[in-house]
Structure 1
Amino acid sequence: MIPIDDCKLLISCCNHKGGLYLVDIKHQQYEMKKVLDVGCTGITKYGSSFVVISNLHGIFILDENLKVIKNKPLSTDLDLHGIAIDNDKAYIVETKTNSIGIYSLKNDLERIDEIRFSPENDDVSHVNDLYIVNETLYVSMFSNPPKKKLTSFASYFPHKTIPRGVILEYSLEERKVVKICHDKLFQPHSVLHHDHNLYYCVSGEFLVKRNEEEIFKCLGYTRGLAVNNQMMVIGQSESRHIPILLTKHTNVLLDCGIYVHDISSKLSSFIHIPSEEIYGILVI
Structure 2
Amino acid sequence: MIPIDDCKLLVSCCNHKGGLYSVQIQHQQYEMKKILNVGCTGMARYGSSFVVISNSHGIFILDENLKVIKNKPLSTELDLHGLAIDNDKAYIVETKTNSIGIYHLKNDLKRMDEIRISPENFDVSHVNDLYIVNDTLYLSMFSNPLRKSLSSFSSYFPYKPIARGVILEYSLQERNIIKICHDKLYQPHSVLHHDNNLFYCVSGEFLVKRNEEDIFKCLGYTRGLAVKNQTMFIGQSESRHIETLLKKHTNVLLDCGIYVHDISTKLSSFIHIPSEEIYGILVI
TM-score, with structure 1 as normaliser:
0.97
Structure 2: which amino acid aligns with 1:230? Answer: Q
Q: Deviations over 1:220-262 (max 9, x none)?
A: 0000000000000000000000111112101110000000000
Equivalent residue for 2:135?
135
Secondary structure at the counterpart of residue 50 of structure 2: strand
**2:210 corresponds to:** 210
Q: Who is 1:253 aligned against?
A: 253
Report the Cα distance in structure 2 between the residues aligned to 1:122 and 1:258, rounded to whole angstroms. Answer: 32
Cα distance in 2 for residues equivalent to 1:248 and 1:257:
22
User: Quick one: distance in 1 between partners of 2:154 and 2:46?
Assistant: 37
Asked whether the equivalents of residues 20 and 38 of structure 1 are also in contact (C-alpha less than 8 Å), the reply is: yes
Asked whether the 8 Å contact 2:125–2:153 carries over to 1, the reply is no
Matches of 1:155 and 1:64, distance apart in 2: 38
- C-alpha distance in 2 between matches for 1:7 and 1:155: 36
Q: 1:124 to 1:53 in 2, by over 3 A?
A: same
Quote the Cα distance in structure 2 between the aligned partners of 1:33 and 1:55: 21
Q: Which runs of 4+ in 1 moved over 3 A?
A: 149-156
Match in the other structure for 2:229: 229
Q: Does 1:169 align with 2:172?
A: no
Q: Cα–Cα, structure 1 residues 178 and 150, in superposed 2: closer, same or farther, change >3 Å?
A: closer
Q: Distance in 1 between matches of 2:208 and 2:58?
A: 29
Q: Aligned residue pairs: how many?
A: 281
- Structure 2 unaligned regions, length at least 5: none
Identity %, equivalent residues: 84
What does residue 109 of structure 2 align with?
109
- The alignment partner of 1:246 has SS state of helix
Distance 2:9 2:247 in 1: 34
Could you tell me how far apart the structure 2 residues matched to 1:155 and 1:279 are?
Answer: 17
Are the equivalent residues in 2 in contact too, given 1:157–1:186 (CA < 8 A)? Answer: no
Distance 1:26 1:268, change over 3 A: same
Give 1:24's aligned residue. Answer: 24
CA distance in 2, matches of 1:150, 1:138: 20
1:152 CA displacement: 6.1
Q: Answer whether contact 1:142 1:156 (CA < 8 A) is retained.
A: no
**Pair 1:195–1:150, CA change in 2 (3 A):** closer
The CA deviation at 1:157 is 2.0
TM-score (norm 2): 0.97
CA distance in 2, matches of 1:241, 1:173: 38
1:156, CA displacement in angstroms? 4.1
SS at structure 1 position matched to 2:85: strand
Secondary structure of the residue aligned to 2:248 is coil
* 3-state SS in 2 of match to 1:244: helix
CA offsets 1:32-56 (integer angstroms, 9 cap, x no match): 0000000000011000000000000
Quick check: 1:71 aligned with 2:71? yes
| RMSD value, Cα | 1.1
Cα shift at 1:139: 0.2
The answer to whether 1:10 aligns with 2:13 is: no
Map of 1:40 onto structure 2: 40
Give the aligned residue type for 1:171: S
Match of 1:148 in 2: 151
The residue number in structure 1 matching 2:160 is: 157
Q: How far does the alpha carbon of each residue in 1:152-184 deviate from its partner, in whole angstroms, 9 at most, with x for none?
A: 6744423xx5x1100000000000000000000
- Counterpart of 1:279 in structure 2 is 279
